[in-house]
Amino acid sequence: MSKIIVLMGAPGAGKGTQARLLEERHNLPQISTGDMFRALATDQTALAEEVRAVQAAGKLISDDLVIRIVQERTNREDCKHGYVLDGFPRTTVQAAMLEKLAVEQGKKILAVLVDVPLEELEKRATGRRSCPICGEIYNVYFKPPKVEGVCDLHPDAQLIHRTDDTAEKIKVRLATYEQQTRPLLDYYEKSNRLHRVDGTRAPEAIYADIEKVVNRES
């Protein structure tokens, strides 16, 4: 049975970094709701304006909209053999919808928590920069690009600093995570579907553990 790998973790824990590795090495598409909404937010529509404001504030986008987007995206051909969810589900309503979707799609849910203590998260988020062309994720403290502010692979692209990656907004995002998303860890734990990996190590060491979980659960 093909899998839905749910990458869980607080803002800045490294979900995107690990999802990109899974996509590259396991050919499992990365479905990042955050990235999808950031792309949508560049439009000049009332909906885009609303998404921009909610994301910039560090609050959550409405369940209805998120669910519609995930449903549409994961029913595409490239998700047929499984996919990685990065940033979804974030609420109990979203988790319930995913259960139904998994049944409809004939897939098994596997949740992996990238576990990073609170005190390490701020530097990860404030230091993050990403390439607008390939999405490569850098960090001015932990993974600086070769030339400051520029993607190693796209020398003409200036790296982006997300509007919600300020110390002030990170506090709001962490509070949102604690209230709305952390309870989902219990939910997956109770049904024996939660796998915890120590997210304080180097990305490759974390990835090796995730890969073991994915292969073991085949």
Choice from 2, 23, 40, 61 touching ligand AP5 (CB under 6 A): 61
CA distances from 210 to 38, 72, 199 (A): 26, 26, 10
Q: Is 199 in the site for Mg ion (CB under 5 A)?
A: no
Q: Identify each DSSP E strand in the chain by its residue range.
A: 3-8, 30-32, 82-86, 108-115, 128-130, 137-139, 194-198
Choice from 73, 143, 154, 161 touching ligand AP5 (CB under 6 A): 143
Residue 162 is among the residues annotated as catalytic for this protein: yes
Q: Which of 82, 69, 178, 45 is nearest to 121 (CA)?
A: 178
- Active-site residue, from 107, 128, 129, 169: 128
Choice from 5, 6, 13, 28 touching ligand AP5 (CB under 6 A): 13
**Whether 60 contacts 172, CB under 8 Å:** no
**Whether 11 contacts 121, CB under 8 Å:** yes
Q: Is 16 in the site for Mg ion (CB under 5 A)?
A: yes
Which partner from the list ligand AP5, Mg ion, none does 145 bind, CB cut-off 5 to 8 Å by kind? none
Write out the residues near ligand AP5 by the rule CB under 6 A. 9, 11-17, 33-34, 37, 54-55, 58-61, 66, 87-88, 90, 94, 124-125, 127-128, 137-139, 142-143, 164, 173, 202-203, 206
